[in-house]
Structures are given as structure tokens and as C-alpha cells.
Amino acid sequence: MTHSMSLTLLARQLVATFPEAVRKLDPRHVWRSPVVFVVWVGSLVTTVVAVTDPSWFAWSITLWLWATVLFANMAEAVAEGRGKAQAATLRAARTTTTAQRRAVDGSLTTVAASDLMVGDLVVVRPGEVVPGDGDVVEGMATVDESAITGESAPVIRESGGDRCAVTGGTTVLSDGITVRITTKPGETFIDRMIALVEGAARQKTPNEIALTILLTTLTIIFVLAVMAIQPLAVYSGHEQSVVVLVALLVCLIPTTIGALLSAIGIAGMDRLVQHNVLAMSGRAVEAAGDVSTLLLDKTGTITFGNRRATELLSAPRPDDVELVEAAYLSSLADETPEGRSIVDLAATGLPDGTRARLDGVRRDGATFVEFTAQTRMSGADLCDGTAVRKGASDAVCRWVARHGGQVPPEVLTMVDTIARAGGTPLVVATARPGEQPRALGVVHLKDVVKPGMKERFGQLRAMGIRTVMITGDNPLTATSIAAEAGVDDFLAEATPEDKMALIKKEQEGGRLVAMTGDGTNDAPALAQSDVGVAMNTGTSAAKEAANMVDLDSDPTKLIDIVSIGKQLLITRGALTTFSIANDIAKYFAIIPAMFVVLFPGLDALNVMGLATPKSAMLSAVIFNALIIVALIPLSLRGVRYRPAGSTALLRRNLLVYGVGGVIAPFIGIKLIDLVVSHLPGMM
């Protein structure tokens, strides 16, 4: 059912893009693809011949040659059509807005957004549209970025830090912010997105240029070969018509890959856009496919953004229930992510009745002590005089000692063990009326590796890609996380200078490096990397330095970007292999047909048993045109990529697309011949 729907959708797209394909017959457009341009010239020549010396055979060849050029244009038009649909959505989000520009004296002036200059300060209030790209310099607000990212949940943007960048066209939902404009009118993020997804700003990549040169060279060789045939044919007393020579040339040159090459490149960028990643150039997409080293930030990429409570360890004397209750109560006022994770963990060990009782202490008049950076503790003072505390081990130990208590050696041993393993120990203590304070146990906080990361790194290893974790943690913690995540190497206590040095070292060995980042301090490393992916939530400096922007701000998407890049390269290689391989069958169709009258022995090469020389030539030309249409879905969707080594990928490529490229034309040309051999003028 899905396959049928895909074919129906493709048919509709082909019909819809037919006018655009006709417009692309303009020689100023066609010459950009040398192979297709040769077919265009051949079509023009046969048209002249068909008009001056009309015949059913000449007109049939001419029409199918023009169809070949049209189908090539359609492949490109369908790929561009997808980008234009996305661009239309973006244009709908880009509205004409006004801005409240703030002067030096603090006064506000209403101006058109198009009049804003780099460095202007604008005030954006709730319900107003951000007039241009910039950085928040004052205030904090929730911003609706759905017009850009497609994500309906609002995000927080605030001055300072790595979440200060705002994009023109987004809407402030609450509070108010002051934005410093960082881009000129017409050069905003949305403007660049529109140009890129439409394909207007797409430049040919180095590999694409190299392949174009190869195809051009092959085409020139075949042009010379076909030109050399005519003198030999005249000498043999069997001069060939211009129509036959053009048909031979078009079937010999690699028209299939020449027609699909542009569509493959456009579709590669389109697949990234579908993953909400904006590539600033096709070169970046291609480089992603050749990456051999990935640099990944630990926090937010390999692990969740904040440490999480994973276990509660009781001291010998207190029971587990007392520790769980104390950890729960002492964390109710801790609004940090770590504090909330302790509440969640403790709640799983509490009966419903107990949890309801503990939640009621706030109503009973208990006093809660919030966590602060100064005290590094949180807790609660209950109405019956009981006090519970949870926090950093040294802070809680001082609290216990200050109230006349002692911390058991077993608790200190647990603290030391957790710290050595790279975790963060938090001590939980209680003080009841008339009793000395007691340390009940330890909460184990740790960076939790995201599910499935080890498997994904295993897939990257199978691709021949080396993974390096970047972290500011100490080497002990970094070693623990690296082992659990399954990365190949790590860089601990990393500074911006360390990142740059590592990237340059990797590149000196001839390897391509990819990394993610979101802060201003990441900008130098992003610029140095072959593939730099900036988070959309990051600073303008990071986005300007990178050659890709992830609109979802998901650092793990770098792995998907590499897969898409490899899929692009594999698709191009597979279709090139298929295109060159399927020429073999055309030799067996046309060469015998041209000279079988003069050299009857050539009939032995007519292994397909084609009816007549004319039907053989027409069948080969028709197949040459139709195979382009048949391969459009594959060029747009891409060849499915499975993580494997280069040798295995090459073997599969040759078996599927090399052997398949040889067999398919034999079958296709024979089936077409069964039909066209009954047409008039084919004898």
C-alpha cells in the first residue's frame, strides 16, 4: 500500500513539474550538465533531419531523445519542487514587521524591520515578532520558534550564556527582551534557509565536480568514437544515417547518471532539511559522508543534560525506609534538576500512603530550606522538631558536627567510592528532638548515558568512524563515562584551545573531523572542523562559524548527519555504477543492428534476439529514456545505508548495481522490442 502511494505521489510530482521541465530545455540551463547537453544537441540534430527527410523511424528516435532530456529535467525539477514547498512554508512565516528600536538615551522609535542595521538594539514585548536575527542582551522570555523548527513547545531565550540567540520571524510569548541585531536585512537565517532549500544557493561539491569531469571525458571519448565510425562505414560501403549515429552516441554516453546527478545532490540536502538540519553548502553534506572522526560533547550528547540520582545507599544502622523518607523530604525544596531526580527516585520506594503523608508536611507548617550555591544543602524542618538535610558531603558533615553528631566511617567510605567512580555523592542526615544528628546514607548522582548510545557508537565503529568524547570533567569521571558509553577515546578537562589542537592533530593525519557546539567558545573549533554542527539554541557566533545548523538543537543528530552524508555518496556511486554497467546491453543492441547487413556474422552478438535493426535501435533509445524515470525515486530517497566497512559496501554496490545494471537493460530492451517491432516502419 505504501509503495503504491509513493508511486502515485511520484506520478503527481512528475505531472506537476512538467512545465518546469519544459522551461529547463533552455540551452542556458542544459549546458550545465555536459552529458544532457550532448543529448539536447543530438535531439536538435535529429529534429532537423526528421523535418527535412521525414520517416517514422527518424521521428520516433527524435521524440524519445527529447523525452530523455525532459526526463532529466524532471528529475531535477522534482527534487527542487520539494525544496520550494519547504521554502513556501518559510516564506509564510516571514512577515513584514515593525521594530521598537532603542536609542542611546533609552527612547524607543518605531521603524520597519527592513531598516534595522547590525548593532541596533530593539525591544520585543509579549506577542510581538522578533524583527531580525540577533542576541538577547537584556531579559529573558519564552519564544515560539515553531515557524522555524516545527516544534510547538516554546523555548527559553535569555541574555548571556549559550541560549541568547533569537531568529527573526519567531514570536515572544511572555516577558520582554532586548535584542542586538546581528544580521543585515535580506541576510537573515530565514532568508538563507529559503535560498538553500530552494536549491538556488546550492553549489556543486568537489566530488560532484570531479564526477562531472569524468562523465564529460567519457562523453568526449564516445563522441570521437562515433565520429570515427562513419568514415569506416563509408569505406565499407554501408554509410550510416545521422539519426542512427546520434542514437548510438546517446546510448553509449552515461546519460542515466548525467540526468540524475543534480537531483541526487539536491535530494541529499533535502533529506537533511527533513531532519531539521540546515546545511550551508552541499560540500558540508558530502564531507559528512567522509568523516572519520566524531567529536561529541559529553553533556547533552552522550549523557543527559544533568546528573541524575541512580541509587540510595543506606548506612549500616538506619533502615532503608528512613533514608528514602529523609531523601524525599530534604529534596522537596530543591528545584535543581538533580534535586527533582532524587524526589523521583525516592518516590518509587514509598508506599502511596507514606508519600501522601510526606507531601502533607508543607500544609502542616514545615519550613523548607532551599538549595543554594553557598550552603550546598537543602532540607526541611518539620513541626515536631525533626530536621533533615541533604547536600554535598563536606557541607552535611559540617552540619552534623555543628549539632554535636558524627558521620559513620561507612558513610565516608561510600562517599569516597562514589567519587572515585566518577559520580557525585550527596549525604542525607537527620536530627530528631533530643537526639544527636545522624548521617542516614548517601545519594549517588551520576551522568546517565542516554539509552542506545553504546549501540550507536558500535555502528559508527563499523563504519570506520572513531568517536571522541569532549568533557570538562576530570579524567577519572571522563574515564568512567567513556567506558560506559563505549566511545573510542576522550578529552578530559577540555578548553577551547584543547579542542582546536585535537581537531588539527586529527586533520594532519588526513582524517575529516565533525563536531557539535553551541557556545561562543565553540566557534573556533566549529570553524576548524570539516563538518561543524551548531545548535539553533546556541550563540550567533557558533552558528556563523558552523557549516550546518541543527534547528532541533539535538547534539546526537550528528550521528544521523553522518549517515545521510554517507547515503548521499553511496547513492551517487551506486547510480554511477548502474549507469555505466547498463551501457553494455546497449552495445549488444545497437552495434550489431548497425552493421549486420554488411557483416552477417555480427548477428551472433544479437543475444537478445531483437526483431530488426531499427526496432533494436529504437528499443535501446526508449529504454535509455525510461530508466531515468524509473530511477528518480531512488535518487530522491537514496540508497539504503547499512553500517559496514568500505570493502563490504563496495562489494554490495558492485553486486547489486553493477550486475543489476548489466542484466536490467537486457530484459528491458527485449520487452520494449516486442512492442515496437510491430510498429510501422520498423522493418
Catalytic residues, which ones?
297
Give the Å distances, CA to CA, from 620 to 1, 229, 348.
32, 19, 71
- Is 522 annotated among the ligand-binding residues? yes
Instruction: Report the alpha-carbon distance of residue 471 to residue 298 in Å, rounded.
Output: 5
377 labelled binding-site residue: yes
Give the list of residues 6+ apart from residue 530 with CB closer than 8 angstroms, or none: 287, 291, 507, 512, 513, 514
Ligand-binding site membership of 57 (annotated) = no
Place of cell 527533582: 340
CB neighbours of residue 386 within 10 Å: 17
CB 532 within 8 A of CB 546: yes
The answer to the question of whether 518 is labelled as a binding residue is yes
Closest by CA to 205, choosing from 144, 105, 283, 145, is 283
Query: What is the C-alpha to C-alpha distance for residues 430 and 262, in angstroms, rounded to an integer?
Result: 70
Q: What is the CA radius of gyration of the chain?
A: 34
Provide the sign of the torsion angle of the four alpha carbons 481, 487, 491, 496, taken in this order. negative
Q: Is there a binding annotation on residue 338?
A: yes
Does 371 show up as a binding residue in the annotation? yes
Main-chain phi, psi angles of 90, to 5 degrees: -70, -40
Read off the amino acid at residue 34.
P
As to burial, measured by CB atoms within 10 angstroms (0-12 exposed, 13-18 middle, 19+ buried), residue 417 is middle
Residues in CB range of 124: below 8 A, 6 or more apart: 99, 100, 130, 131, 141, 172, 176, 177, 178, 179
| Cβ proximity of 405 and 438 under 8 Å | yes
Q: Is 311 annotated as a binding residue?
A: no
Q: Which long-range contacts (CB under 8 A, 24 or more apart) does 324-327 make?
A: 324/349, 324/350, 325/350, 325/354, 325/358, 326/388, 326/390, 326/428, 326/429, 326/430, 326/440, 327/390, 327/428, 327/441, 327/443
376 annotated binding-site participant: yes
C-alpha cell at 143: 519564544
Say whether 543 counts as a known binding-site residue.
Answer: no
Nearest one of 146, 149, 147, 133 to 188, comparing CA atoms: 133
CA atoms of 8 and 12, how far apart (whole Å)? 6
Residue 591 · residue 607 · CB < 8 Å: no
Q: Which residue ranges are tagged as binding site for Mg(2+)?
A: 518, 522
Q: Which residue ranges are tagged as binding site?
A: 334, 338, 371-378, 390, 518, 522
Q: Which residue ranges are tagged as binding site for ATP?
A: 334, 338, 371-378, 390
